[in-house]
């Protein structure tokens, strides 16, 4: 009998790649979607026929209980969140409700319906914030710098707490930034690669950005979802940092992305204070040696391969 996996946030970047991975592993895949007035399945339309899509919302515990009761999954991947850091300052309470308390709602729904369900929580390197050590690993203390980061720290610790309190098979993946051609347009990598494509095609003449000196450890989303799945295949639940181990600045991102289209970023990038944050995370770089050792995980795509892939995809999309 095929294993059943339920994914919250299936319409998002990671949800789409994870669904593909689980289908390839022979799973029956159920996706939870919140209701919206328009159809929002662009990222999963190519596999839609192979998925079961159910309605549910992290703000509404009964909807989660009903979904679990109806489909009785073996594994739950909680990817849903208000995931845009910048928006978390304008909507701090909504961010806390979804990104923090939403995790407790799902964990309680699991306890009520079937405590044997294995659970994955999408934790984040944003929890390290003003970093207390370089590189960051599973033992680095958290110092979140945004309402989003604070909410993710709550989600992380409630996952650990339910594991320790109730013996749930609950694991937390502390994933560093991961990107792809399916990344939302407001995140800096996609904003840059889409901007490059628009400038190359004469649709824009400049690209307005915020802090060019922030450093991130950027990997490829399709590589990272393999780690999520691997965590739930272990006998023992645990927490893992998933990262490339390399860090690059937003300025380098611009340099590489514009160069991939034969352009010089200095002629087009305009620094605009509108995109600066009230508090910044200046430097992220992860140490995922524990994941290498215990999960056998490594990434296949590096920063340069990732940026070139994203520029090529955005150029192609505009040509279409």
Q: Does 121 bind ligand GDD (CB under 6 A)?
A: no
Binding mask 73-112 for ligand GDD (x = CB under 6 A): ----------x-xx--------------------------
Kindly report the length of the chain: 320
Residues between 78 and 97 that touch ligand NAP (CB under 6 A): 79-83
DSSP β-ladder status, 248-249 and 219-220: unpaired
Q: At what angle do helices 188-200 and 303-319 cross, to 10 degrees?
A: 50
End-to-end CA distance of the chain: 42
Report helix, strand and coil shares of the chain as percent, to nearest 5: 45, 15, 35
- DSSP class of 230: H
Please name every residue paired with 54 in a beta bridge, in sequence order, or none if there are none: 32
Tell me if residue 37 is catalytic. no
Rounded Cα–Cα distance for residues 260 and 264 (Å): 10
Q: Candidates 73-81, 112-120, 128-136, 265-273 — which segment interacts with ligand NAP by CB under 6 A? A: 73-81
Q: Which does 254 bind (CB under 5 to 8 A by kind): ligand GDD, ligand NAP, none?
A: none
Report how many residues bind ligand NAP under the rule CB under 6 A: 25
CB-based contacts of 293: which residues, under 8 Å, 6+ apart? none
Binding mask 30-49 for ligand NAP (x = CB under 6 A): ----x-x---x---------
Q: Candidates 54-62, 127-135, 201-209, 296-304 — which segment interacts with ligand NAP by CB under 6 A? A: 54-62
User: Environment class of residue 125 by beta-carbon count within 10 Å: exposed (0-12), middle (13-18) or buried (19+)?
Assistant: buried
Nearer to ligand GDD (CB atom), residue 109 or residue 209: 209
Using the structure block, give the residue that is written with the tokens 């203390």. Answer: 141
- From the candidates 63, 83, 88, 124, give the one annotated as an active-site residue: 124
Contact residues: ligand GDD, CB under 6 A: 83, 85-86, 124-126, 176-177, 186-188, 191, 209-211, 214, 216, 250, 275, 277, 280-281, 284
Contact residues: ligand NAP, CB under 6 A: 8-9, 11-15, 34, 36, 40, 57-59, 79-83, 98, 122, 124, 175, 177-178, 184
């Amino acid at each position: 009998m095929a294993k059943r996996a339920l994914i919250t946030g299936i319409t998002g970047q990671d949800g789409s790649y994870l669904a593909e991975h689980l289908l390839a592993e022979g799973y029956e895949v159920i996706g939870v979607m919140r209701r919206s007035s328009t159809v929002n399945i662009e990222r999963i339309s190519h596999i839609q026929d192979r998925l079961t899509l159910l309605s549910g919302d992290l703000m509404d515990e009964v909807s989660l209980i009903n979904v679990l009761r109806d489909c009785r999954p073996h594994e739950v991947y909680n990817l849903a969140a208000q995931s845009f850091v910048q928006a978390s300052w304008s909507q701090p309470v909504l961010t806390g409700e979804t990104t923090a308390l939403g995790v407790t709602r799902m964990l309680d729904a699991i306890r009520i319906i079937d405590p044997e369900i294995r659970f994955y929580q999408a934790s984040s390197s944003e929890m390290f914030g003003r970093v207390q050590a370089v590189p960051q690993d599973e033992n680095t203390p958290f110092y979140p710098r945004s309402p989003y980061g604070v909410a993710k720290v709550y989600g992380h610790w409630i996952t650990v707490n339910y594991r320790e309190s109730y013996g749930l098979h609950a694991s937390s993946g502390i994933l560093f930034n991961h990107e792809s051609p399916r990344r939302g347009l407001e995140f800096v990598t996609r904003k840059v690669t889409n901007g490059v494509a628009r400038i190359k095609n004469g649709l824009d003449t400049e690209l307005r950005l915020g802090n060019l000196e922030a450093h991130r450890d950027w990997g490829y989303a399709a590589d990272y979802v393999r780690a999520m799945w691997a965590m739930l295949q272990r006998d023992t639940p645990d927490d893992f940092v998933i990262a490339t181990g390399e860090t690059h600045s937003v300025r380098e991102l611009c340099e590489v992305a514009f160069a991939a289209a034969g352009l010089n970023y200095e002629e087009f990038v305009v620094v605009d204070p509108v995109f600066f944050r009230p508090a910044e995370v200046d430097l992220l770089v992860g140490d995922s040696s524990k994941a290498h050792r215990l999960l056998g995980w490594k990434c296949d795509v590096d920063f340069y391969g990732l940026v070139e892939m994203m520029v090529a995809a955005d150029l192609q999309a505009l040509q279409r």
